Structure 1
Amino acid sequence: MDWQQSPFVLLLLASLFTKGLASPLKGSESWGYVPVRDGAHMFWWLYFADSPSAHYTELPLVMWLQGGPGGSGTGFGNFEEIGPLDRDLKPRDTTWVQSASVLFVDNPVGTGFSFAETDEAFAKDVSTVSSDMMVLLRSFFTDRDDFQNIPFYIFSESYGGKMAAAISLALTEAVAHGSIKCNFAGVALGDSWISPLDSVMTWGPYLYTTSLLDDLGLAEVSAVAQDVQAAMEQGHFLKATELWSLAESVVEKNTNNVNFYNILTQDPEQSVGAKPGADAISLQFHRHVQRLQRRSLSQLMNGEVRRRLKVIPQNVTWGGQAEAVFRNMAADFMKPVVETVDQLLSSGVNVTVYNGQLDLIVDTMGQELWVKELKWEGLPFFNKLRWTPLDDPAAPGVTGAFYKTYKNFSFYWILKAGHMIPSDQGAMALHMLQMITQS
């Protein structure tokens, strides 16, 4: 489809603002579709950077990839985390658009406003996800050559991190071969599903040390985690995904429904929406993707936003194919991509890992385990470094994070944040973005 241009949020969503509310931004935006395979169409939405001190061509470009798989960046990432407006269409003080142009992409195909025409058009693995993204990025940077020399970063969250690692490796190769012209500057993996087994195996110890499991509960969670490990070791990855679902049910039972995304809260509605007797894959979809499409956001996306975009096909519903996306990726879900991260580091790509202190689904203990498994030659030197505290920009004098960096690898420990760091600690997340991109 042709690129769609419009004035920025004030004009695009004028009818959505309450009377007298002014837009904090003065830039512009673009959106559209790219056909990436036969019957497979990916939707993207670009916000140009809006800064009082710099033109968008002087600031980086950030692509945001949501988790799931099946979570929509144009919806959740945009209106719930880092876009210029929140879900209530009020200006967000910590929007990343003040420091970078932000490209949201609904991927894999079938996510958000992206859509598949046939069952065969859904991606089954991260290899297809990354090849689809190469088609989209080739189209983007060809049509928008003003972005070709701007530093381009990929930021991600949750399963989006697994996809981001594979996409970054494919992009590095495409840039080297000259098939995509862009200034790829690095990838940031936020609370990312890089090594699923390391996450699952540390759930028990993490919950136990935070007083959310007793001895009997720890034994039960550890036992089912070992079942997941056995399936992984045997190469039964679909079975491992199903056992992962069982492991989470055991966690819920023993913790009185601890929230997988922030251990300081409970979420008795984690599995609401799943039909009684639903299979493990459907149950996990409702636990981890349907929560990104709750009614108020779905109504916004399928209502005024859809009408204003004017390019969404009549038979496409935002989030309507999300479960099909998740189900088609189920056999690939538990496969690790630690080796991919190693390849990125060895290729000289700037890699950042960042994680929320209160996240359970991808707990920091598990992240640190796979990092210690890296074969990257700089790891022994990285491990010898002490971390550096960072003040919380929203509370000067209070530590908001720790970080350390060696050559092309960085790790950020974000305090008082769960799985969705920009939602929990927006000012700290924005400060981290500015440090990584030097914007």
Structure 2
Amino acid sequence: MERPTTGTVAVLLLVFLSAGGGLAGPVSKGKETWGYVDVREGAHMFWWLYYANNPATSYTELPLVMWLQGGPGASSTGFGNFEEIGPLDRELDERDTTWIQAASVLFVDNPVGTGFSYTDTQDALTKDVATVASDMLVLLKEFFSKKEEFQNIPFFIFSESYGGKMAAAISLELTKAISQGDVKCNFAGVALGDSWISPLDSVLTWGPYLYSTSLLDDAGLTEVGNAAEAVKRAVTDGEWVKATELWSILENIVEQNTNGVNFYNILGQEDDDDDDSVKSSLKEDYLAALAKRHIRPLHSESLGELMNGKIRKKLGIIPRNVTWGGQAEAVFASMSGDFMKPVIDVVDELLEAGVNVTVYNGQLDLIVDTIGQENWVKSLKWPGIQNFTQMKWTAMDEPDSPGVTGAFFKTHKNFAFYWILKAGHMIPSDQGPMALRMMQMITQQE
């Protein structure tokens, strides 16, 4: 397959052209660059960097943030960029709450096969977070080697959903690589947003959470609880693929007992036109059902048209036979044996190593509900956890509504937790101003 091994373009003013040659929306101001890194033979990872665009401050005075999407198989350069924190939204309108105003942002389509990243064969797809981390280390080593201006700038990894599980593993390997002199960068911390750190703690608390919010009755609570216990038995026995299959069945049972609750925001509703594409049958192949529920919604038709149309044309380096999101479901399936494994021990290692670790969660998220997050946090072996749990949190006002509580947080030594109110799984989409303020606090800009 012919394609550039790397490709970068830096521009001060970018114009999106329609098929007819005219303007197709507003311009995106600011310096950008993008490219590919061959992380293994037959495995090609795509990245896209936006330099911080703040008229009052040079990018050299602001942090660098890498954003990792979940899934696994969801695209950072697509969903994270155009739906959450990038300079433009899906309609190519400027986003008021873009993180680019406070940091340079590096989007990476990770693992390989996600977004514009791709593999030459199915065998090159990752099967566990260890390989995900080693692939990312190859990319980061090349990135910081070629972008020397970022070597001394504070570097943070922010993540969402399964991206948090990957971020934890990547952060630990990066910390080791820096200490060994293999990567030169100023790693300053990792933030785990609504993250799949302890899958079992999440599924065991779905029933109580839904019951407390009047979304399950007594019979439903019992049925969901029994299904969750089946997942627990599989996890306890180390039957990881079976645990993933039982988790899919549990989700179907939750849907049937709640009239189709939105797993990403319990107050949200799926559009009627999308119901068939999201809801699954108990008889459906479990991997297909999981991909339908958790991958396809992040690859909506309109976003896919944008990425495979105007964005692809703008980037100019995507191989002809690569489609944005084309391998997404294969990525999910390949990681199915690793999906239900916890990485609480990795977080413990990060804390013990002195890495700044932040957990943040949306109040209305079901898939990674806050109760489950608090449970695994309390199980940490880190010596500071007892003092942390005894602390009282601090209230934060909504940035646009002084006097209205928008979040709570607390921090002890190198660990912090943010509870974001009125937000679901995708916090920057639901509460953009609060997400931006939180990022600035974590990166010590406030």
TM-score normalised to the size of structure 2?
A: 0.95
Matches within 5 A, 1:275-314: 277-314=283-320
| Aligned partner letter, 1:339 | D
Q: Deviations over 1:333-385 (max 9, x none)?
A: 00000000000000000000000000000000000000000000001111111
Counterpart of 1:272 in structure 2 is: 277
Matches within 5 A, 1:189-208: 189-208=192-211
1:2 aligns with 2:6: yes
Pick from 344, 368, 375 the counterpart of residue 362 of structure 1: 368
Matches within 5 A, 1:25-424: 25=29, 27-267=30-270, 269=274, 272=277, 277-424=283-430
Total equivalences in the alignment? 437
User: Post-superposition shift, 1:5?
Assistant: 1.8
Q: Deviations over 1:223-280 (max 9, x none)?
A: 0000000000000000000000000000000000000000012336466178975310
Which sits farther off after the overlay, 192-201 or 15-24? 15-24
SS of aligned partner of 2:440: helix
Q: Deviations over 1:299-320 (max 9, x none)?
A: 0000010011000000000000
Q: Distance in 2 between the 1:212 and 1:434 partners?
A: 35
Q: Deviations over 1:108-129 (max 9, x none)?
A: 0000000010111000000000
| Aligned partner letter, 2:75 | S
Over aligned residues, Cα RMSD in angstroms?
A: 1.7
CA gap 1:368/1:59 in 2 versus in 1, 3 angstroms: same
Q: Deviations over 1:126-159 (max 9, x none)?
A: 0000000000000000000100000000000000
Q: Which runs of 5+ in 2 are unaligned?
A: none
8 A contact 1:56–1:100 mirrored in 2? yes
| Aligned partner letter, 1:257 | G
TM-score normalised to the size of structure 1?
A: 0.97
| Aligned partner letter, 2:136 | M
| Aligned partner letter, 2:351 | L
SS of aligned partner of 1:112: coil
CA gap 1:154/1:211 in 2 versus in 1, 3 angstroms: same
| Aligned partner letter, 1:283 | A
Q: Distance in 1 between the 2:127 and 2:50 partners?
A: 30
Q: Distance in 2 between the 1:417 and 1:262 partners?
A: 7
CA gap 1:388/1:271 in 2 versus in 1, 3 angstroms: farther
Q: Which runs of 5+ in 1 are unaligned?
A: none
8 A contact 2:45–2:110 mirrored in 1? yes
| Aligned partner letter, 2:390 | K
| Aligned partner letter, 2:217 | D
SS of aligned partner of 2:277: coil
